[in-house]
Chain A
Amino acid sequence: MILARVVGTVVASHKEPKMEGMRLLLLEKLDPITMNGKNDFVVSVDCVGAGTGEVVFYATGSSARCTKQTEGLPSDASVIAIVDAIEKDGAFTYRKSQ
């Protein structure tokens, strides 16, 4: 799974009918040590109700379709978790409460 920050949402009124009702998030991949964005963006279906600014990780490929919401959808990226903390070498590089 890949770490990213929710930086916005994507609205597509004209889309594949199966994607109807899906919340689409704009994600920026991030470096978990510096917590800086990598200027690399993806659109991902939101399966956990993540808000803008939150750090998440998402699954890609066929695994993206293994959630209730995305089963059978033509989507290859699903946000499957909101991150509370990232720890490296015993120290937090990110904590949600901050």
Chain B
Amino acid sequence: MILGIVAGTVVSTQSQVGIAGARFLLVEKCNHRAELRGEYLVALDPLGVAQGEMVMLSESTPARETPLTQGKPVDTLIVGIVDLIDQDEQVVYKK
């Protein structure tokens, strides 16, 4: 999985995704210290994530391994909200 910070939302009324009420979030890629990298993705959000939260993103085929996204043309899915990351026994990120 890769890490990202929720930057905002992407609204689309004309889509072929086939998921009723699908929530697309604008996510900026970041590293484990929440340092942003200026690269954005659109991710499907099944968890109701708030803006500014750090999330784990799953890309490609695994993104379809949930009841919501099975068989759907989704290649980027939020699979978790990060509470804490430690590195070498040092907390490097805390919600």
A residues near B, CB below 8 A? 1-3, 31-33, 47-49, 57, 59-68, 70, 78, 80-90, 93
Contact check, B51 vs A89: say whether CB atoms are below 8 A apart: yes
In the complex, number of A-B residue pairs with CB atoms less than 8 Å apart: 105
Prevailing SS type, chain A contact patch: mixed
Across-interface contacts of A48 in B (CB, < 8 A): 14-16
A62, A63, A86: the one within 8 Å of B26 (CB): A86
CB within 8 Å for A89 and B17 given contacts A1-B76, A32-B26, A66-B71: no
B residues near A, CB below 8 A? 7-18, 24, 26, 38, 40-44, 51, 59-61, 63-64, 71-76
Contact check, B73 vs A59: say whether CB atoms are below 8 A apart: yes
Contact check, B42 vs A61: say whether CB atoms are below 8 A apart: no
Instruction: Give the distance to chain A from B62, nearest Cβ to Cβ, in Å.
Output: 10
Contact check, B26 vs A81: say whether CB atoms are below 8 A apart: no
CB within 8 Å for A3 and B16 given contacts A63-B60, A63-B75: no
